[in-house]
Amino acid sequence: MIDDVLVSEELKNVCFSCDLSQCRGDCCVEGDAGAPLEEEEISFLEENLERIKPYMSKAGLEVVEKTGVYDYDVDGEFVTPLVNDRECAYVYFENGISYCALEKAWLEGKTNFQKPVSCHLYPIRLSKLKHYTAVNYDRWDICKTALLKGEQDNIPLYKYLKVPLIRKFGKSWYQKLVKAIESSPLK
């Protein structure tokens, strides 16, 4: 436990480093639901959609214009809408690789929002429990090359995801996480 966050040992024990040349960004295209969204992220999407639209695919634009900037998953949680029940509506493709239109708008200085924190944190997922938040590694076959690259480069998840973990939980929390991980016994 770090404050009110239950952290899986896998953040220390699993090495990970995305390899877009191999996975082609399939985490944005595969799956059975859109990316989880926080309520304030929906407000951002609604307020900034016009700035994001130029980076979206035609199919993604059609979905968002028809259904709105968010949808619900089977548990009634907010998620990004999907194109053909498959790819995120905010995905665009370049040279056969999936990229995020939200992040592209951010990179080009059109917005101050990088992308949903759930996407930034992937491959970890957050679960809201009664008194705390659980942070768990989401094991998915499409990320097997990221596991190989992570092992090769010796990058544990907690280091690979430093920036999004700080974004979500704060710098002080992250420092506590590092201290807890690095002072604990090896794998």
pTM of the predicted structure, to 2 decimals = 0.87
Q: How confident is the model at residue 80 (pLDDT cuts 50, 70, 90)?
A: very high
Q: In the 8-state DSSP scheme, what is residue 129?
A: -
Express each pLDDT in 27-58 by its tens digit: 888 877 889 999 999 999 999 999 999 999 99
Question: Which pLDDT score is estimated for 42?
Answer: 95
SS3 118: helix
Question: Which pLDDT score is estimated for 140?
Answer: 85
Determine the Cα–Cα distance for residues 184 and 187; give it in Å rounded to an integer. Answer: 9
Q: What does the DSSP assignment read for 16-78?
A: ----HHHHTTGGGT-SSS--B--HHHHHHHHHHHHHHGGGS-HHHHHHHHHH-S-EE-TTS-E
Residue 105 CA, distance from chain mean position: 16
SS3 123: coil
